[in-house]
Amino acid sequence: MADLVAAGAPELPEGWFYRVKEEYGVGFKVEIREQQRFTSREVSSSWVHENRFDDMAAAVVDACRYAYLYAGERADTQAKLAALAEFLGDHDPKGGRA
């Protein structure tokens, strides 16, 4: 990960890492993953658009930036959904039954 960060990719929180992988027949993908006890889970991902860049390192770093952006958006959405969950249930304007 240090090579990607040195090239301009966002630094990730502790326990997260980048994985660059080839999806056969589709292309290359950057995943942001969170280390679990025995495995890892995908936090976010983005496709590498190699046709937009002459330098493939720049293409991978660009995908890292988008994956990081998507991870932030996902976290914001999850926080909003958690706040909305507090309102679950019936809301009687009269204060409910006695």
Tens of pLDDT along 43-82? 999 999 999 999 999 999 999 999 999 998 988 998 999 9
Helices (H) and strands (E) in the chain, counts: 2, 3
Phi-psi region of 89 (alpha: psi -120 to 50; beta: other; left: phi over 0): left
pLDDT digits (tens, 9 = 90+) for 80-94: 999 999 999 888 787
Q: What is the pLDDT of residue 92?
A: 79
Burial of 67 (0-12, 13-18, 19+ CB in 10 A): buried
Whether the pLDDT of residue 29 is over 80: the answer is: yes
Whether the pLDDT of residue 1 is over 90: the answer is: no
Domain ranges for the chain: 2-85
Q: What is the pLDDT of residue 98?
A: 53
Closest by CA to 9, choosing from 70, 48, 61, is 61
DSSP-assigned letter for residue 11: P
